[in-house]
Copies of this chain bind each other. A is one copy, B any other.
Amino acid sequence: MSFIEEARRAQIIASAIEVLASVGFAKASLAAIAKHAGISKGVISYHFAGKDELMEEIVTQIYTKIAERVIARLEGQDTAVGMLRTYILSVAEHMRDHRTQLLALGEIFHNLRDAEGKPRYGAHTNEELYQGIEHIYRFGQSTGEFRAFDLRVMAITHSSAVDAMFAYWAVTPDHDLDAHARELADFFERAAAK
């Protein structure tokens, strides 16, 4: 992949993120993204297989960055409680500094569909995420930090609580994201405690 190709793709992705965050998925047409980037619509089709590939590329890039951050923070933790708190707090901290990306991500998650009109992302796509969360809670149960409870229900609840935190912050920018994250960490710590 040539240098100019890489640069164009990056430019288009950046433009798409900004358009998604500011006008929402429905109005983030290829035409709007192209106009915002100052290029012709056909360029997007030339560099991406289609709108879907562009959207998925955005998700992949943002997710990769988040994962890097969270994994790095998790390194130093050796207790389940510590991992739990770190997981929640580090994601919140990261998104706090990348609000535009969060908004774009939300738009894509809530709107991108496959050919049959079914959501591209959603509960059916979260299996990997659930298993990661379950891993932490299972670890806590094995060390005796946590009581016995249904791992899958806990993972679903945990995951949705974090999503809801961001969704609320997306709509209410003045909301204190870090404080919310600390409350959440307390909540799950207590809910799981023996």
Which residues of A come within 8 Å of B, CB atoms?
23-27, 110, 113, 116-119, 122-124, 149-150, 153-154, 156-157, 159-161, 163-165, 167-168, 170-172, 179-180, 183-184, 186-188, 190-191, 193
Contacts and interface: CB of A to CB of B under 8 A. Distances in A.
A117 B161 contact: no
Contact of A186 (B123, B149, B188): B149
Given A153-B183, A184-B153, A171 B124 contact: yes
A159 B150 contact: no
Interface of A is mostly: helix
Nearest to A166: B123
A110 B110 contact: yes
Nearest to A26: B117
Contacts of A123: 164, 167-168, 170-172
A24 B171 contact: no
Contacts of A171: 122-124
